[in-house]
Amino acid sequence: MIELTTPITDEDINKLKAGDVIAISGQILTARDQAHKRILEEGAPCDIEGAVLFHAGPIIKEEETDDGESKYEMVAVGPTTSMRMNPYESDVLDMGAKIIIGKGGMDDSVREALIRNNAVYVVATGGCAALYVDKVNEIKGVNWLDLGMPEAIWDLDVVSFGPLIVAMDAQGNSLYD
């Protein structure tokens, strides 16, 4: 398994080929279709240069602390179907994201954007939300909670998040072909 640490660099991406198995440590941002749409309309609420974006709608437990603030605990986080992000993903990749995590594959416009931006699409196994949540060390923050908990952008600190399989690499190779 290839271990990567965020932020992801071009050198990291250059080592990856379709079929490689990877794990990621550092920062991962969850982003589903409504978050992608808003990123394009308003700009990203955080730096996505070298970022890892995870197509996921986590299950979050919210508790109020003694000082009236909200504290969040992630109960489960698994991949959602990536094809819903096809209309937005090329433009988001053009903003600097380097790894997209999801399930089910993406279209040729995304493949072209992966090549153009030296980025990769990796798949997480559906049905393994309990496995992946164990790799989340901490919720560092949340953006756009007004979209709802599954659609908000959750800023996660992860350790050896995986296994993930490189399904579409920066050379245009795809396991879906």
Angle between the N-to-C axes of helices 86-94 and 108-117, in degrees from 0 to 180, rounded to the nearest 10: 10
- Residues 36/77, Cβ–Cβ less than 8 Å: no
Asked if residue 56 lies in contact with residue 35, where contact means CB atoms within 8 angstroms, the answer is: no
Dihedral angle sign, alpha carbons of residues 88, 152, 138, 21: negative
Contact 24/5 with Cβ under 8 angstroms?
yes
In the chain, DSSP finds a helix count (H) and a strand count (E) of 5, 9
Q: Which of 4, 22, 24, 36 is catalytic?
A: 36
DSSP 36: H
Instruction: Check if 36 is active-site.
Output: yes
Cα 40 from Cα 27, distance rounded (Å): 21
Q: Catalytic residues, which ones?
A: 36
